[in-house]
Structure 1
Amino acid sequence: MLFAIISHNIDFVTFLMNEFNITIDLKFCADFNNLDSFLVYFDQTNEINISFIYSTIFSISSLSEYFLLNGANINEKNINGKTALHIAVEFNYKEIVELLISHGANINKKDNNGRTALHIATQYGYKEIIKLLISHGANINEKDKNGRTALHITTQYNYKEMAEFLISHGVKINEKDRFGQTALHVAAEFHSKEIAELLISNGSKINAKNIYGKTALYCAVEYHSKEIVELLLSHGAIINEKDKNGEIALHAAARNNSKEIAELLISHGAKINEKNINGKTTLHIAVELNYKEIVELLISHDANINEKDINGKTALHAAARINSKEIVELLISHGAINNALSRPSMNPYVITD
């Protein structure tokens, strides 16, 4: 059947349906713009609601209106929970969207992913449809299954103009998704600097934390967004704020081998010897990952070389464990104590596990 639909062989489509009772998949009719097969499906099944939903894909107003005038449920959903409005928006068919709205389509109906038509329009950046939906009562702060509003989505895709429009129409800037992320967190992760500036200028809480205790600054460091790190610092981001693992942004910079960002954070007062919940400083982390340049940077800014973690181990132990001769020598040359622990088995030159 799929081959018959793709090749637009309507006689073969009809034959398969009548002789072998093989059902036409309307999605394939839509995907391959096969209106004839679509009409055969309706003629043979008389399933008006599902036919109506998929009729929108052909962008023929009179076709969709025909189904409506003959009793189709305008808010009927397909297997994915999408209504005709969802589909019309997805294909950017403004005329069909207007038709559906004029016939009373529920603008805030959700699909199986909790998305309204507005969520879909913002994902694709359909400016005119976004305006149309909002002007007809779309809930601008509605959340999808992941707790994301239209602002979260438009920020992810870096649609600044859309973000400006949503803000001007009252979207909640500090609304959080299911992971506790505000739009500013999203901007930090997706390098959306202009939107980050827009959000901050409109009252975004710079030091808001997600469910992992991470601020937008931490996320910007984690995702290598140096420009956004600079932006957040210039607007008062708390540089030594800790996440749930007791880590500050400098820990993330060390873990990511982000030397430039680490230098930036240090120049703004990041605490080099701050420990996470395991008692590890940024030096411990940089050594464990064998990031020599980060180690050198931290040492040059007076990192405490002999600081111990909760297991009593220093950076030198970590260097020995990964068999990094270069870093071992570097640490010792800067004052690392090679018999930091009393038991011989804990001497860094003996550790093998």
Structure 2
Amino acid sequence: MVVVVDELCTLGVSFSSPNSKGDSPLWSALESEQDEIASVLVRHGVDIDCWSSTGPEGCLQTLLHRAIDENRESAAMFLIRSRCDLDSPRQTGLNGEGDNKILDKASPLHLCCQWGLVQVLKTLIDHGANVNAVDSLNRTPLHTAIENQHEEIIMILLCHPSINLKIRDKAGNTCFAAALTFRNHKAAQAILERLPTAAEQMDQRGRNFLHVAIMKDDLESVLFLLSIQVDVNSRVHDVNQTGA
């Protein structure tokens, strides 16, 4: 069969003709785990991204988005190794379809952090995916991994030399703040090892994490912050200079 596909490609068969389900030849090969045929198609110049309206609510997505959403790790890693688009989020359909799904602007890395696909995430990173990509709420993949409590992914991202731990989401939360919010003290401690000043960062009102934890009567966070020896004498950066 591989030889036949190779010959058909050489003779100029269309790469884009969908089957009865609307799937491209490349997706059909990957879905049925026929990587040799998929490799032949790629070698002959098939569109690896194949943007189409197969996404949620009819939005446009690539084969990589689809593979990640359907938990087809082998297919996703094949596409990544074949140099597909690593960072683009889904897009609205030609008639605006899929608004609710594409407004989050989640990159493939965000999707891996959402679903816990460790091997796909590693492959994305190995091939240069942007670990500091932000979605529509300015959340990085690390924000998403912390929110979804995927410990292995959190540690993989924190080991990346280019990780930016100062990025704040639209609510003003850094990844350290997200770790405190979701009671993930292991992640918070790991962030501090990369960025020792993370616990002293101020919010828009000039309060650090200890000030906020005390105001919220959040005993667990207070005890954690004291255990990492935050500055208990730090004052709020406002006109009153209130202490903790």
Q: Which interval holds the TM-score relative to the shorter structure?
A: 0.5 to 0.7
Please, which runs of 5 or more residues in structure 1 have no aligned partner? Answer: 1-136, 349-353
Alignment correspondent of 1:140: 17
Deviation at 1:202, TM superposition (A): 3.2
Number of the residue aligned with 2:176: 283
Residues 162, 331 of structure 1: alpha-carbon distance in 2 compared, 3 angstrom cutoff: same
Aligned to 2:134: 242
Give 1:159's match in structure 2, choosing from 15, 32, 46: 32
How far apart are 1:242 and its partner, in Å?
Answer: 1.6
Are 2:201 and 1:307 equivalent residues in the alignment? yes
Given candidates 219, 226, 230, the residue that maps to 1:335 is 230
State the match for 1:201 in structure 2: 81
2:212 and 2:26 map into 1 onto residues whose CA distance is: 40
Letter in 2 for 1:340: V
In the TM superposition, what are the counterparts of 1:119-198 in structure 2 within 5 Å?
140-141=17-18, 149-150=23-24, 158-161=31-34, 164=37, 168=41, 172-176=47-51, 177=53, 178-198=58-78
Alignment partner, residue 264 of structure 1: 156
TM-score under structure 1 length normalisation: 0.49
Matched, 1:222 2:114: yes
C-alpha separation in 1, matches of 2:230 and 2:15:
64
- Distance in 1, matches of 2:85 and 2:146, equals 26
Secondary structure of 1:238 counterpart: coil
User: Offset at 1:340?
Assistant: 2.9
* Structure in which a larger fraction of residues adopt helix: 1
- Taking the aligned partners of 2:219 and 2:26, their CA distance within structure 1 comes to 47
The CA distance in 2 between the partners of 1:167 and 1:311, in whole Å, is 58
1:253 to 133, 145, 155: 145
Alpha carbons of structure 1 residues 150 and 163: separation in structure 2 relative to 1, 3 Å: farther
CA-CA distance at 1:292 after TM superposition: 2.1
Instruction: Check conservation: 1:224, 1:258, Cα contact below 8 A.
Output: yes
Q: Is the 8 A contact 1:275 1:282 kept in 2?
A: yes
Q: Does 1:292 align with 2:167?
A: no
Aligned residues: 208
Mapped contact 2:26–2:38 kept (Cα < 8 A): no
Change (3 A) 1:226 1:313: farther
> What is aligned with 1:56?
none
Does the 8 A contact of 1:254 with 1:286 survive in 2?
A: yes
Contact 1:251–1:285 (8 Å) recurs in 2: yes
Matches of 1:324 and 1:172, distance apart in 2: 52
Equivalent runs, 1:98-137 vs 2, <5 Å: none
**1:252 Cα deviation (Å)?**
1.0
Contact 1:242 1:248 in 2 (8 A): yes
Relative contact order (C-alpha < 8 Å, sep 6+): which is higher?
2
- 1:310, 1:187 → 2: CA distance? 40
Q: Are 1:273 and 2:166 matched, yes or no?
A: yes
Map of 1:23-102 to 2, 5 A cutoff?
none
* Alignment partners' CA distance in 2, 1:138 and 1:198: 18
DSSP 3-state at the match of 2:131: coil
Over alpha carbons, which structure has the higher Rg? 1
**Cα distance between partner residues in 2 of 1:209 and 1:310:** 30
* RMSD value, Cα: 3.7
CA distance in 2, matches of 1:267, 1:151: 38
Equivalents in 1 of 2:60, 2:154: separation in Å? 26
Instruction: Please tell me whether the aligned partners of residues 19 and 25 of structure 2 are also in contact (alpha carbons under 8 angstroms).
Output: no
Q: What is the identity percentage for the equivalent residue pairs of Structure 1 and Structure 2?
A: 19
Which letter does structure 2 place at the counterpart of 1:159?
S
Q: C-alpha displacement at 1:325, in angstroms? A: 2.0
